[in-house]
Amino acid sequence: MRAALPLGLFVRCAATRDLSAIAALAAQRSGAAFENCLQSVEEQFGSDTERGHLTLIAEMDCGLLGFGRARHVGTPIDADSVPTGWYLLGVIVAPALRRRGIASELTRLRVEWIGRRADEAFYFANSLNLPSIDLHQKLGFVEVQRPFAFPGAQFSGGGVGVLFRAPLIACGLPHSAKPAGPPFSSTDP
- Residue 183: inside a domain, yes or no? no
Half-sphere exposure of 153 (CA within 13 A, CB side): 20
pLDDT at 176: 45
The predicted model scores a pTM of 0.83
List per-block mean pLDDT (blocks of 10 residues) for the chain, which spans 189 residues: 72 90 86 84 76 89 90 72 90 85 93 94 96 93 94 86 88 45 41
Residue among 81, 88, 65 at smallest CA distance from 14: 65
Domain count, the chain: 1
pLDDT at 181: 44
Show the domain range for 77.
10-167
pLDDT at 76: 61
Read off the CATH number of the domain in which 130 is found. 3.40.630.30
pLDDT at 163: 96
- Residue 188: inside a domain, yes or no? no
